[in-house]
């Protein structure tokens, strides 16, 4: 119980995002990094580009040897230059994708504090010793007062304070942090605006939430996802196939009397292997994480983003995700024999100390109907608790006795009043049932131990949410609403929102059980949470989105952190994951089709003189075998540059089934991959031959 004190409500500004656009500084840094990545030790993880690096090096040696022996070297030099350009452009794609993340990491790194903490060495006397933040140990207790920067991560063990977390979230409005509950976690680098708190340190230097954010953004621990590994194996297989195809050309050359220069064969080999997707593969994955960063979501790895794209079941909390969460009082129904004004006055009195949106809406409802109640002198508030599931107000009266008002869950109030269910008035039961079936929440109201009425709280389903769930359903996702409401209320809201299923009266254990059941059926599950009791479910889910304002246990358990603490982000996260997979599939389709087309475009041009029968296939009529090879090498390099924006931006997301999506990709990117080489190589051949380069 607490004595009533006035409270001040703050506003909320639109949060800023960590990721910015492609500034000149980002591009300059990416260009520098592209040259640094020419180090072969950094290329070994990408077999296709590493192979290109080897051939580029051999071509350079060939060009140098030609110059040294005073042989014509122009063609060899051009081949070497464009092969190195191919490697550089692939590096540039990855570096640009990483660039915005590194810029964001720099801004986060600037928020690190080097201030001295007020270490409490004796809890009894409150003795404080100034201590550098980096020397604080886990378990030690520090005092943080108004104006102080919180030196490290911790849990509040005493006190309550208003904290500005703009350095981490971009949100300028301060938030309340207090001991106990799910809002006791504080983050190093944030600032206490008012009051004071005692904080128990929970993270060592170098392992704070800010440090982990920087590591996430920079992708320091980036490892290939399962799909990337599988695709890399496919690309390695295709590279081997084209290597065999090129080697067989040596025999064909001897048979046809065509002398094949090793330089030409090496260049031909590079034009045929899937360098396009090989050069853009990592950029697609990094860009997926960057797109999440733009909406203030941090992913611990590309694996988490990829899992979001493969999610089958989406668990959504009702409050804040499906509904606005600010349930408003719309009416108070009086019990039989109770005047409506008395029932409304009792509801308002029970809500005077309730600072929740629901409590304030009850007071506002009374004011609108002419019932204004002042807080009685000496009144004591009764806070809501999960045990009693009710709140209210106790106050002395003029006769020396006391007045008591309570409101809360219907069954909880019935139990506190020791009411026999058989003796509850039929009118009250009917009102409770009507409110529940309409999707509202009924609250019972009592005065001095007597049931006086029922409050109707109505939550509003967010606009367009039904259409969004329909889009997810077309993509093959199953949506499940999680709520603590009773089954009748849950069913009404689920029907209005258009979700596939719901779990009513859910506990943290119920969430964990549901996730395991879904995974047992071979489905991937995504969910969000913020409480310490959500940590097991967040850790179990394939995609666990923790709220930044939530408990530290939840933030550590999830594989994503939403800096805006907006539960609706889980839908955007799934869409970003889908977009990343779609983009990767589209570019792979384009690249493979591209390679097949280049094979049939170049080979006839190389052997048409020796084998006139190939003339029927030489539809492009390229100027010469040398111009054909040079044009193909140039096209091979430039197509990577042309596709970098698509890899970073992603293929436009469409809520369609897998079959339609596959058909569209084959039509647009498969057909495009077949046509582009014929058009591009021919145009380059015309330019090259007209300039006398080959």
Q: What is the set of active-site residues?
A: 317
Q: How far apart are CA 629 and CA 593, in angstroms?
A: 18
Region of residue 237 (phi > 0: left; psi between -120 and 50: alpha; otherwise: beta)? alpha
Residue in this structure with the two tokens 């350095």, named with its chain if needed? 167
Sign of the CA dihedral 496, 499, 502, 505? Answer: negative
3-state secondary structure 235-286: HHHHHHHHHHHHHHHHHHHHHHCCCCCHHHHHHHHHHHCCHHHHHHHHHHHH
* Residue 404 CB contacts under 8 Å (≥ 6 apart), including other chains: 392, 393, 394, 446, 447, 448, 449
Angle between helices 302-309 and 275-294 (to 10 degrees): 90
CA angle 464, 562, 543 (to 5 degrees): 85
The candidate with the shortest Cα–Cα distance to 142, out of 124, 128, 125, 162, is 128
φ, ψ of residue 378 to 5 degrees: the values are 75, 10
Say which residue the tokens 């920087």 belong to: 214
Dihedral of CA atoms 428, 434, 440, 445 in degrees, nearest 10, equals 0
Tokens of 164: 């500005």
What six digits make up the tokens of 12? Answer: 């909320």
The two three-digit tokens of residue 139, written as one number = 């378990």
A 10 A CB-CB count for 210 gives 22
């Amino acid at each position: 119980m607490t004595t009533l004190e006035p409270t001040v409500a703050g506003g909320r500004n639109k949060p800023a995002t960590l990721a910015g656009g492609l500034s000149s500084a980002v591009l300059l840094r990416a260009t520098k990094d592209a040259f640094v990545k020419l180090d072969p030790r950094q290329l070994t993880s990408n077999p296709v580009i590493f192979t290109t690096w080897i051939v580029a090096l051999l071509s350079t040696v060939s060009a140098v040897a030609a110059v040294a022996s005073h042989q014509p070297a122009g063609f060899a030099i051009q081949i070497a230059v464009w092969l190195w350009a191919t490697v550089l452009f692939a590096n540039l794609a990855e570096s640009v994708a990483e660039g915005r993340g590194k810029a964001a990491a720099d801004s986060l790194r600037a928020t690190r504090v080097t201030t001295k903490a007020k270490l409490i060495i004796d809890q009894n006397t409150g003795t404080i010793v100034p201590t550098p933040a980096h020397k604080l140990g886990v378990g030690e207790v520090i005092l943080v007062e108004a104006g102080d920067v919180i030196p490290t991560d911790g849990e509040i063990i005493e006190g309550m304070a208003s904290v500005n977390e703009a350095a981490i979230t971009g949100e300028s409005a301060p938030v309340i942090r207090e001991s106990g509950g799910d809002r006791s976690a504080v983050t190093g680098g944030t600032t206490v605006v008012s009051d004071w708190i005692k904080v128990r340190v929970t993270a060592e230097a170098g392992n704070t939430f800010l440090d982990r954010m920087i590591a996430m953004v920079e992708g320091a621990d980036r490892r290939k996802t399962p799909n990337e590994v599988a695709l890399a194996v496919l690309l390695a297989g295709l590279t081997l196939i084209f290597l065999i195809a090129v080697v067989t050309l040596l025999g064909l050359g001897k048979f046809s009397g065509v002398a094949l220069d090793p330089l030409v064969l090496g260049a031909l080999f590079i034009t045929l292997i899937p360098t396009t997707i090989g050069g853009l593969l990592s950029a697609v994955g990094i860009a997926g994480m960057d797109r999440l960063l733009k909406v203030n979501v941090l992913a611990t790895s590309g694996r988490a983003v990829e899992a979001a794209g493969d999610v089958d079941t989406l668990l959504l909390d009702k409050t804040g995700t499906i509904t606005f969460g600010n349930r408003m009082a719309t009416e108070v129904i009086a019990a039989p024999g109770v005047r409506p004004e008395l029932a409304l006055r009792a509801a308002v009195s029970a809500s005077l100390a309730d600072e929740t949106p629901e409590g304030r809406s009850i007071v506002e409802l009374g004011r609108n109907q002419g019932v204004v109640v002042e807080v009685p002198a000496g009144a004591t508030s009764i806070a809501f608790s999960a045990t009693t599931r009710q709140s209210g107000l106790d106050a002395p009266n003029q006769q020396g006795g006391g007045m008591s008002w309570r409101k809360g869950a219907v069954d909880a109030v019935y139990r506190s009043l020791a009411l026999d269910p058989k003796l509850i008035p039929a009118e009250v039961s009917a009102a409770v049932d009507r409110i529940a079936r309409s999707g509202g929440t009924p609250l019972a109201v009592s005065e001095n131990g007597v049931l006086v009425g029922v409050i109707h709280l109505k939550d509003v389903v967010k606009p367009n949410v039904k259409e969004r769930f329909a889009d997810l359903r077309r993509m093959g996702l199953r949506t499940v609403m999680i709520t603590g409401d009773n089954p009748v209320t849950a069913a009404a809201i689920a029907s209005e929102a258009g979700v596939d299923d719901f779990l009513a009266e859910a506990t943290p254990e119920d969430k964990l059980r549901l996730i395991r059941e879904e995974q047992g059926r071979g489905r991937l599950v995504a969910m969000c949470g913020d409480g310490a009791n959500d940590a097991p479910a967040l850790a179990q889910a394939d995609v666990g989105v923790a709220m930044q304002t939530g408990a530290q246990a939840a933030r550590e358990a999830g594989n994503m952190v939403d800096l805006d603490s907006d539960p609706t982000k889980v839908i955007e996260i799934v869409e970003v994951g889908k977009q990343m997979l779609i983009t990767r599939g589209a570019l792979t389709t384009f690249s493979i089709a591209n390679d097949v087309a280049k094979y049939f475009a170049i080979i006839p041009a190389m052997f048409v003189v020796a084998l006139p029968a190939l003339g029927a296939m030489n539809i492009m009529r390229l100027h010469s075998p040398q111009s054909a090879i040079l044009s193909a090498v140039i096209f091979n390099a430039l197509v990577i540059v042309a596709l970098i924006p698509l890899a970073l931006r992603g293929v436009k997301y469409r809520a369609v089934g897998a079959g339609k999506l596959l058909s569209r990709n084959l039509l647009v990117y498969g057909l495009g991959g077949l046509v582009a080489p014929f058009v591009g190589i021919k145009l380059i051949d015309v330019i090259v031959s007209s300039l006398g380069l080959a």
